[in-house]
Amino acid sequence: MYVRFPLSLRNVEDLLFERGIDICHETVRFWWNRFGPMFAADIRRQRVSRMRGSTHWRWHLDEVFVKINGETHYLCRGVDHEGDILESYVTKKWDKSAALRFFKKALKRHGRPVEIVTDGLRSYPAAMKELGCEDRREMGRWLNNRAENSHLPFRRRERVMQRFRRMKSLQKFVSVHANFHEGYGLRRNLPIGDKLPLER
């Protein structure tokens, strides 16, 4: 509940207490720190194994500004054509070397896509040229809406958490949050029976 919905630790404590589970909010924090990355890695591994053989895998890349202790950082996301978040990467500045690190990480984990949709930043083509995939780049005014919309749940969550204090904790949270949000969200484009067991 803490990772999937925009709730504070004390909100989760109250919700569990209403269900007869009496725990401290610090226990909730310990649970998500301990088990959140494990569950998120398992969800990501299953999704990657399903999508690796896809012949129409299209990536959408976009970055957003995040404040950490008053300093501006970049959160870059890679989203596939179905809206699932592939990678989240936090960095102090977004240049060719940062884009190169992001691409290497994403390509190693997910394989090569058919197309990569980006915005007009010059760091993307510079990094893609070095990796030999510049011919797969697409750019357009509304083509990248999938990546831009993927920031909305994070922004809601950021307001509830009253921002982040460390880059490391932000990187950890966005990685876990992305996989939980996609893994447990109800898909509107699928029949409900594909996501949840049908009632008898």
Predicted TM-score (pTM) above 0.85:
no
> Which of 9-13, 90-94, 179-183 comes out lowest in average pLDDT?
179-183
> Which of 10-14, 18-22, 113-117, 173-177 comes out lowest in average pLDDT?
173-177
Residue length of the chain: 200
Instruction: Give 3-state DSSP helix, strand, coil % of the chain, rounded to 5.
Output: 50, 20, 30
% of the chain with per-residue pLDDT over 70: 86
Most confident of 77-81, 90-94, 106-110: 90-94
Closest-CA residue to 65 (of 140, 163, 136, 142): 163
Q: Using pLDDT thresholds of 50, 70 and 90, give the confidence band for residue 54.
A: low
CB atoms within 10 A of CB 186: 8
Distance CA 77, CA 116 (A): 12
Q: At residue 69, what is the residue type? A: N
Q: Using pLDDT thresholds of 50, 70 and 90, give the confidence band for residue 194.
A: very low
pLDDT at 153 > cutoff 50? yes
Q: What is the mean pLDDT of the chain?
A: 80
Q: What is the arithmetic mean of pLDDT over 92-106?
A: 91
Domains of the chain: 48-183 (3.30.420.10)
